[in-house]
Structure 1
């Protein structure tokens, strides 16, 4: 599971669902002309909304990738969406998913790899100390 830096808990890492919920709460706060503060989800005003949206985020994550959902929420078309249950959010997520899949297929390359590579080892013990000299003398006789 991928972790994302939270804007509202002093840079601590949060799950994909929590990060997506933070983005959707930011959108709602803009519409309501309110500010989100440190750990806003604990306040009475935002607690219920946050819990509802995190459940919706988890349902979306079962079907779509976290990257596609985040890109969809950052898309200008979704700037006025303040709920993850919005029916017009799904086509935007699907569009972003298609873009990501297209990028993945374009980046696929054929790499020629050696099946059984053979390496020659170097004599790492190049130091000559008293013990190595004694071993050499023993080997000669």
Structure 2
């Protein structure tokens, strides 16, 4: 396993590359990315993890902020390069960026989405997934299971 974390340079190897898209609100969302990484640690996969260790919530989220712009561009590049995108919607969050990413990549054929009951826009997510034939699962455990199945 190889883990590439924002904002490190994205250099992919022979492993299948998986982008971890989903709820990331600090202090609200569970650290689901850590569980995925732990559970996939014995596999031949390259994880593209946008959770930046040095994130500062006080940064202005504006195009004029070079650190913020670097983060967003890293995420877009990683989403585009990844062979698989796993998307997790935490029911305790609003996840507007994850919803945006769902819209951007729904037609890509690369998505597996986990949107548990209780997420405030589950209906919208389910309809988009159904319309564009995006695989949906109901739990983080199922999401990890499907990733393992796909990379075999």
Name the TM-score, length of structure 2 as normaliser.
0.29
Give the number of the structure whose residues are more often strand, by fraction: 2
Which protein, 1 or 2, shows the higher relative CO under an 8 Å CA cutoff with sep ≥ 6?
A: 2
Name the TM-score, length of structure 1 as normaliser.
0.30
Bigger Rg, structure 1 or 2: 1
